Amino acid sequence: MSTSPAIRRYEELLFYAACLCNCWSVVLCVCVCVEVGGCRAGGGGSGRGGGGGGGGMRLSGGRWTWKLSRAMRLVLRRCRTWRRGYNQGSGGAAGELWSYAKLLLRSLYYNSLTNSDTALDCVFEPVYWIVDNVTRWFGVAFVSLVVLLTSSVVVIVYLCVLPIILSTYPAPWVVWHLLCGHWLLVMVVFHYYKATTTHPGRPPKDKSDVPVVSICKKCIIPKPARTHHCSICNTCILKMDHHCPWLNNCVGHLNHRYFFSFCLYMMLACVYCSISSRHMFQEAYNAIEELFKPSPPPFTFRETTSHKAIVFLWVLTSSVAVALGALTLWHGILISRGETSVERHINRKEIRRLKELGKVFRNPYHHGPLTNWKIMFSVEKPSHWVTRVLLPSSHPPMGDGITWDCTYTRKDPMAI
């Protein structure tokens, strides 16, 4: 039986739409059901002459798009047969094939680990794909925005704030502002540059003696402990914390310290700017209000611009200090507990699961708050708190990110 090109094209579009809807497995199951139905009704098919044989020859020799279109036509034809049989009261064959189709679907999708979270992940997979790709492209815009806003704050401080400090403040305060301001600026720029340019670390692919806990279903490589797959970077990350769009980079084993130090020093710099310029902000705000009175003061264009720039500086630094302060506090709590952002969600599920069993969860990577902070900053002796924390340092982190010193025994419950 020949098919017109228009109908064939329409059926190809239907197939492409099904693919876009993430229905590969469903189409596969339906095709298998059709084949099973054809095998069971083989006598009826052979009684129709050579049409069935000719169709089979064309199905095996045509293009792959025509093959799948042919399979979909068979599905539609079978559905019409089922509907006629059901209307005539003979729905036994249709019910049997439907039960077989459900069995196939369950064999493909169901296992002992299936739950509501897995079902929601499957449903929202297209949404996750869109978010991952949008975040990947927006990362460049976010990094540019951070550089632009930071540069604007530095320019305003040098052109508007620093001249007032040098001309009106006492000498000790001038020295303090010069030293503290430039120290914070150097720390912010250094750690942001290192956080954006340092690769977070990926597990080795050519080593067979690496201790692993699972296999990544996307990279198809062994995953060591604390390693997770980043769908935005499309690779596995050692000790992955999260993907930061403001860095356009993942936060992992090799750049976790740079990320936290950047958040900490950026927050301190914003607090320093907002506190140091609070009196200038009040004067600039009052001066701007005077401009809206019937007889405004004769401010020059430079003075008006300086007032607006100081107001912008104070509002921006105060807002960033509040938002970034909350983020820094949250990551500080995670570091004190020996967790990452990903492990926090995993450990919460394990805590609830073990609580129902009457057990207590113990984080195997928690060595105490002080030791966790030493591991975070790679502090091995007291002088390192100055040379590696208070000053710019590009020293590597402790360990290789593959093997970890755990504080559990084999009898303790543990989540990986």
Q: Annotated active-site positions, please?
A: 244
The amino acid sitting at 74 is: L
293/305 Cα distance (integer angstroms):
18
230/243 Cα distance (integer angstroms):
7
Q: What are phi and psi of 223, to 5 degrees?
A: -110, 120
Q: What are phi and psi of 202, to 5 degrees?
A: -130, 150
Query: Under a CB-based contact definition with an 8 Å cutoff, are residues 165 and 189 in contact?
Result: no
Query: Under a CB-based contact definition with an 8 Å cutoff, are residues 14 and 72 in contact?
Result: yes
Q: Which residues pair with 251 in a beta bridge?
A: 242
